[in-house]
Copies of this chain bind each other. A is one copy, B any other.
Amino acid sequence: MSKSTVAFLGLGNMGMPMARNLLSAGFVVRAFNRSHKPLETLVGAGAIPAGSPAEAVEAGGVAISMLANDAALEAVALGEHGFAQKLGAGGLHISMSTVAPETSRRLAEAHALHGSSFLAAPVFGRPEAAAAKKLWICQSGAAEAKQRAKLFLDALGQGIHDFGNEPGAANVVKLSGNFLILSAIEALSEALVLAEKHGIERASLAKFLGETIFACPTYQNYARSLAARTFEPAGFKLELGMKDVRLVRDAAETAQAPMPIADLLHARLLAALAKGRGQLDWTAIEKSSAEDAGLGS
């Protein structure tokens, strides 16, 4: 086990540029991905391919996972050929996927049985941000895990924000952030439809908001694309937004914290899915506001 070796599990839209950054930073990357194509690509960039999650990790080493959902994450860690057992004593699992806090809590316990530690480290940022090392990383877990993870996380993002020892905490922060972004999208949608029906240019309102009371890229970008109603190509697919809002609602139910806006967002997303809009950008929830106001979709 070398200090500069890391196993990377999951080479999707996010995982691929992250793994590349680890290679660029000089790490030895042992990679696994369920489908072969991305794996070959990364091997072309210098990674060592692994035939299974278990094969990717070294005993006592560091594994980074970036997977599509809770089930994929649990399968890679704990399923058949999963890496948890091999990672074993002294190992560290840095889990960067957007998953339920409960999943992190379960994984932390499962790894502890093998003597490994666990760090939840979900990220904010699109694939382009990942490629540019501009991810914002939230972390929670044991102090030693954070210390050891820093070397790797520094190669992936523009800052690490700490949320304490409880493994699920960083996931709650990630889910809260996505909830807040989609809340802003819904509120902007309602405001833009109101404005349009009062004869105001949508683009003027969007520009004004981004220059004054909401002068930050999240609002500027979403207001612009909502004003223009460009829902394809998807920056973040609506069906993935549904996954996240489902996790938000589960976390709310677990914590007994009613979140009426989360319920509204879920209803918007569900209607969009029912109307066949799952592949559009998640801003396409705007179409429901427009349709309910008698505007074309």
Contacts and interface: CB of A to CB of B under 8 A. Distances in A.
A257 B197 contact: yes
Interface stretch (A25-33, A144-152, A203-211): A203-211
Nearest to A254: B198
Contacts of A198: 101, 166, 168-169, 172, 251, 255
A75 interface: no
Given A124-B212, A271-B292, A172 B200 contact: yes
B199 A169 contact: yes
A180 B169 contact: no
A214 to B, nearest CB: 6
Interface stretch (A60-68, A82-90, A187-195): A187-195
A44 interface: no
A50 interface: no
Interface stretch (A9-17, A109-117, A215-223, A227-235): A215-223
Interface residues of A, number: 76
Contacts of A263: 260, 263-264, 266-267
Interface string A161-198: 11110101100110011011101101110110111011
Contacts of A262: 190
Contacts of A264: 260-261, 263-264
Contacts of A270: 252-253, 256-258, 292
Interface stretch (A35-43, A51-59, A91-99, A273-281): A273-281
B136 A190 contact: no
Most chain B CB atoms below 10 A, which of A138, A190, A215: A190
A200 B163 contact: yes
11 contacts: A136-B213, A161-B211, A180-B187, A180-B188, A180-B191, A194-B259, A213-B218, A214-B216, A256-B273, A258-B271, A259-B289
Give 3 nearest A-B pairs by CB, closest first.
A274-B294, A197-B255, A183-B187
